[in-house]
Structure formats: C-alpha cells, structure tokens
Amino acid sequence: MSKAFKQTDREAYITLGLYVFFFLWWTLFAFGLGSGDPEEYSYIWGLPAWFFYSCVAGYPVVTLILWVVVRKFFADIPLDEPEGESEKEEGKA
C-alpha cells in the first residue's frame, strides 16, 4: 500500500473518531443534563444548561479540536500521478 493510501486511511479513522466524540459530547450533555424535570434545569445565559453545553459550547470546542487535529495529523497529498507512474503500472500489468 502506498504512503498516500496509508495517510488517507489514517485521516479517515481520525475523522470517524472525531465524529463519534462529537456525537457522544452532544448526546451525553443533551440527554444527561436534559433528562430531568424542566422546572429543575439550571440556566446559562437564559438557555437550559443541557442545550448550552451540547449545542452552544460544543460547537466551538469541537471546531477547535478539529483545527488542531487537521494542523497536526493531516497532510496535503497530491491527487495527480507523478510523471512516469502510469508507465510503471503498464509494465507491471
């Protein structure tokens, strides 16, 4: 397997992991804090705490994590074939 395919596989797994993290973040805050009696909710800036943490705070937190991950672990991969690569493949077939 070429280095480019290994890198893209790695990036795909990282992306899936981040989606799972965000889904868990949202679900745990929304259903964890929001499962009680609405009269007992705590409020932040006039919003229920479960909504604030799952939707309002979650988005910037996940955006910051994504920015850091893309900077540290993702790489630019050229999508065009290097010169002579197709000729090598024809010789192998």
Q: Of 48, 49, 50, nearest to 30 (Cα)?
A: 50
Q: Is residue 11 part of a domain?
A: yes
Which of the 8 DSSP states describes residue 1?
A: -
Q: Does residue 69 sit within a domain? A: yes
pLDDT at 38 over 90: no
Q: How confident is the model at residue 72 (pLDDT cuts 50, 70, 90)?
A: very high
Whether 23 is in a domain gets the answer yes
Provide the number of structural domains found in the chain.
1
Q: Which of 13-17, 76-80, 85-89 shows the lowest mean pLDDT across its residues?
A: 85-89
pLDDT band for position 84 (50/70/90)?
A: low
Does any domain span residue 16? yes
Q: Is residue 84 domain-resident?
A: no
Say what the pLDDT of residue 25 is: 92
Q: What is the pLDDT of residue 68?
A: 95
**CA within 13 Å, CB half, 38:** 2
Domain enclosing residue 24, as ranges:
3-76
Helix axes 58-73, 3-33, angle to 10 degrees: 170
Q: What is the mean pLDDT of residues 6-35?
A: 89
Q: What is the pLDDT of residue 88?
A: 58
Question: Is the four-CA dihedral 66, 71, 73, 76 of positive or negative sign?
Answer: positive
pLDDT at 32: 81
